[in-house]
Amino acid sequence: MVAVILILSSFGYAGYSFWLIQKQYLNSETKVLNLENGLSVSQKNLSELKSEYLTTLELLKNEKQTNAYFEEKINTISSTVGILEKLSKIDSELLKKYSKVYFLNENYIPPRLTDIPTNYLYVKDKPLQFHADAYPFLQKLLDASITEGVPILVISAYRSFGTQAYLKSSYKVTYGIGTANKFSADQGYSEHQLGTTVDFTTQVTGSNFVGFDKTDAYKWLLANAYKYGFVISYPKQNTYYSFEPWHWRFVGVALSARLQNENLNFYFLDQREIDQNLVNLFD
């Protein structure tokens, strides 16, 4: 009997324990489910947040690109405006090729002329003028020639249309029309009317005009004038015009350096190619 009671009660206890455990299991299962639910909600929030973040990032990136694009555009436009503004202030005649078919207008006068100091002049009491913007380059050239022992002087510089006409007719009277045409460009064709052209000479006897190519000063100019933006307009053996060793024109340092390096002559370059240097004329 006792044994039966013991067996029954142990069954009862086992049943109770099983019920307890089962209840605990169900509780934890519910908790797990709740947690899982919570987790999936958070995961959903997280992925929504993530996609929102990515969209914002993308928008921001696009915005940045648009800004960079506009910034670049603005920079390009302002640099173009800068170049155009600079160009608008430079007289395009200053780099034109002149010939017997294309010449400077008789009314042309350089906007600003400056007196060349008398110490640089061959004839001290005959004032000469030069283009004011190009004058600093001329002065540097003349000073360098003095420093390097081949002092160069200026015998002619700016000539108005009227002066050129007068000069030409006086040459005609003195030398006859044929000879005058050879060494004095026809009135108005002359580069002297630009104000950026000079005739050089020295104190050495016989170095004026046709004798100038025998001087050290001439050799010095051939080797150095380009550093100051000057070129010989009508060099030896040019087919354009007769040889004028004394006659030098300011065309800007960039262009003169190119002509020197490539052994080219101003009058043999294409006008369009020459004009590309206009913006740097006084640099």
d(Cα 168, Cα 104) in Å, to the nearest integer? 16
Instruction: Say if CB 154 and CB 199 are below 8 A apart.
Output: yes
Which residue, 167 or 279, is less far from Zn ion as judged by CB?
Answer: 167
Contact string (CB under 5 A) for Zn ion, positions 169-208, x = contact? ------------------------------x---------
Whole-number minimum distance, CB 256 to Zn ion, in Å?
17
Comparing every residue's Cβ against Zn ion, the nearest one is 247
Which residue, 186 or 279, is less far from Zn ion as judged by CB?
Answer: 186
Which residue, 67 or 242, is less far from Zn ion as judged by CB?
Answer: 242
Whole-number minimum distance, CB 141 to Zn ion, in Å?
16
Which residue, 168 or 247, is less far from Zn ion as judged by CB?
Answer: 247
Burial of 54 (0-12, 13-18, 19+ CB in 10 A): exposed
Taking CA atoms, 74 is separated from 68, 70, 145, in Å, by 10, 6, 46
By CB under 5 A, the count of residues binding Zn ion is 2
Token pair in block for residue 100: 């017997």
Whole-number minimum distance, CB 78 to Zn ion, in Å?
41
Q: How many residues does the chain have?
A: 283
98 binds Zn ion (CB under 5 A): no
Whole-number minimum distance, CB 234 to Zn ion, in Å?
9
Which residue, 131 or 247, is less far from Zn ion as judged by CB?
Answer: 247
133 binds Zn ion (CB under 5 A): no
DSSP string, 38-80: HHHHHHHHHHHHHHHHHHHHHHHHHHHHHHHHHHHHHHHHHHH
Token pair in block for residue 98: 């002149």
Q: Tell me the window of 27-35, 116-124, 130-138, 243-251 that interacts with Zn ion (CB under 5 A).
A: 243-251
Q: Which residues of 13-36 are buried (b: 16+ CB within 10 A; e: fewer)?
A: eeeeeeeeeeeeeeeeeeeeeeee
Burial of 254 (0-12, 13-18, 19+ CB in 10 A): middle
247 binds Zn ion (CB under 5 A): yes
> Bridge-partner residues for 197, per DSSP?
249
Q: Tell me the window of 60-68, 76-84, 132-140, 242-250 that interacts with Zn ion (CB under 5 A).
A: 242-250
Q: Tell me the window of 66-74, 112-120, 213-221, 246-254 that interacts with Zn ion (CB under 5 A).
A: 246-254
**Interface contacts to Zn ion, rule CB under 5 A:** 199, 247
